[in-house]
Amino acid sequence: MESKQLGPGFAAEILGVDLSAAMSDGDFDAIKQIWLENKVAVFRDQNLSDNDLLRFTERFGPLFVHVRSQFNDKTRPGIMLISNIKENGRDLGELGNGDLAWHSDQSYSAEPVFATLMYAIEIPTEGGGTWFCDTARAYENLPEATKARIDGLKQNFSIEVTVETQHVALTEEQRQLKPPVTHPLVRTHPELGRKSLYLSPAHSTGLADLPADEGAALLAELEDWAGRPEFTYLHEWRVGDVVMWDNTSTMHRRDAFSADERRLLKRTGFELPPERAVPF
Ligand SMILES: [Fe+2]
């Protein structure tokens, strides 16, 4: 399996793979290994049916279904539409055209999704890129004193924080499915044992067990550190791209794009096995 590094020490393009075709266990394992090591994997020039996308996603683990179900595909709820397009005056998908702040997907969940995949159908000519941050390398490169200072700290998350960046309000039922949660600030990779900063400013309500101002200052310091160029990669989308990322070891954000342009992606995800689904 051939791959090409895209970012500084992480994010790799996997070459010569057609995700719509039958794939041997050996090829699948090689892809999974490259993805785990690189945290973000990119496949270019794909032409996938919904079933192709779901089949590839489910091979890694149980299919994730988004709690904000308004834009889940009606017949295949494992697919969510991400789009700013309006059809007959109604939104075709979620998330509009604005900037989206750094986050790790579903960090507001007790058992956050392991990986997210996005498949690009329509892409604007300018803007709308996705920035990825390697939070494992950001952790590894911290001064030892900082590692000691943050060891054992916990962070609070809430789905409510995201409300202003979404354009469909949560229903009462959805809110009840996602009560506030607390996760370790430094988490261990469920398969590799590697440690990373578990940062997700778009869902965070602050550090637990610290005075609010001290916690906010520490989080801001860690988020600034992680956002440095040596830990980040900008993915500039092309039609046909499939990008999959490891939410345990990365966070991501999106640049805004013009409301006059069209952007449409199909999103899927897969879960961790139940015994390793809670961040530790
Ligand atoms: Fe996201």
Helix (H) or strand (E) holding 235: strand 232-235
Q: How are strands ordered across the β-sheet holding 250-254?
A: 100-103, 250-254, 130-134, 232-235
Contact in structure between 186 and 151 (CB atoms under 8 Å): yes
CA of 145 to the centre of ligand 1 (A): 31
CA of 252 to the centre of ligand 1 (A): 6
pLDDT over 70 percentage in the chain: 98
In this structure, the number of other CB atoms found within 10 A of the CB of residue 156 comes to: 18
152 pLDDT exceeds 70?
A: yes
Looking at residue 215, its pLDDT comes to: 96
84 pLDDT exceeds 70?
A: yes
Question: Could you tell me if residue 280 is inside a domain?
Answer: no
Question: Could you tell me if residue 157 is inside a domain?
Answer: yes
* pLDDT band of 68, cuts 50, 70, 90: confident
Give the model confidence (pLDDT) of 104-126 as tens digits.
Answer: 999 999 999 999 999 999 999 99
165 pLDDT exceeds 60?
A: no
Give the model confidence (pLDDT) of 208-248 as tens digits.
Answer: 989 999 999 999 999 999 999 999 999 999 999 999 999 99
Give the model confidence (pLDDT) of 5-42 as tens digits.
Answer: 999 999 999 999 999 999 999 999 999 999 999 999 99
CA of 67 to the centre of ligand 1 (A): 13
CA of 144 to the centre of ligand 1 (A): 30
CA of 138 to the centre of ligand 1 (A): 19
Cα separation of 246 and 259, whole Å? 29
CA of 243 to the centre of ligand 1 (A): 12
CA of 103 to the centre of ligand 1 (A): 6
Question: Could you tell me if residue 161 is inside a domain?
Answer: yes
CA of 22 to the centre of ligand 1 (A): 29
Smallest CA-to-CA distance from 76 within 84, 86, 66, 85 is with 66
Phi, psi of 169 (to 5 degrees): -70, 150
162 pLDDT exceeds 70?
A: no
DSSP of 94-146: EE-SS-EEEE-TTTTSSS--SEEEEEEEE--SS---EEEEEHHHHHHTS-HHH
Question: Could you tell me if residue 277 is inside a domain?
Answer: no
CA of 157 to the centre of ligand 1 (A): 15
CA of 237 to the centre of ligand 1 (A): 15
CA of 61 to the centre of ligand 1 (A): 19
CA of 87 to the centre of ligand 1 (A): 23
Question: Could you tell me if residue 98 is inside a domain?
Answer: yes
For position 67, which CATH number holds?
Answer: 3.60.130.10
* pLDDT band of 160, cuts 50, 70, 90: confident
Give the model confidence (pLDDT) of 21-30 as tens digits.
Answer: 999 999 999 9
Looking at residue 166, its pLDDT comes to: 61
DSSP state letter for 198:
-
- Structural domain including 188 reads 3-272
- Tally of domains within the chain: 1
Looking at residue 43, its pLDDT comes to: 98
Give the model confidence (pLDDT) of 45-64 as tens digits.
Answer: 999 999 999 999 999 999 99
Contact in structure between 243 and 42 (CB atoms under 8 Å): yes
CA of 130 to the centre of ligand 1 (A): 9
**Dihedral-angle region of residue 43 (phi above 0 means left; psi in -120 to 50 means alpha; beta otherwise):** beta
Question: Could you tell me if residue 265 is inside a domain?
Answer: yes
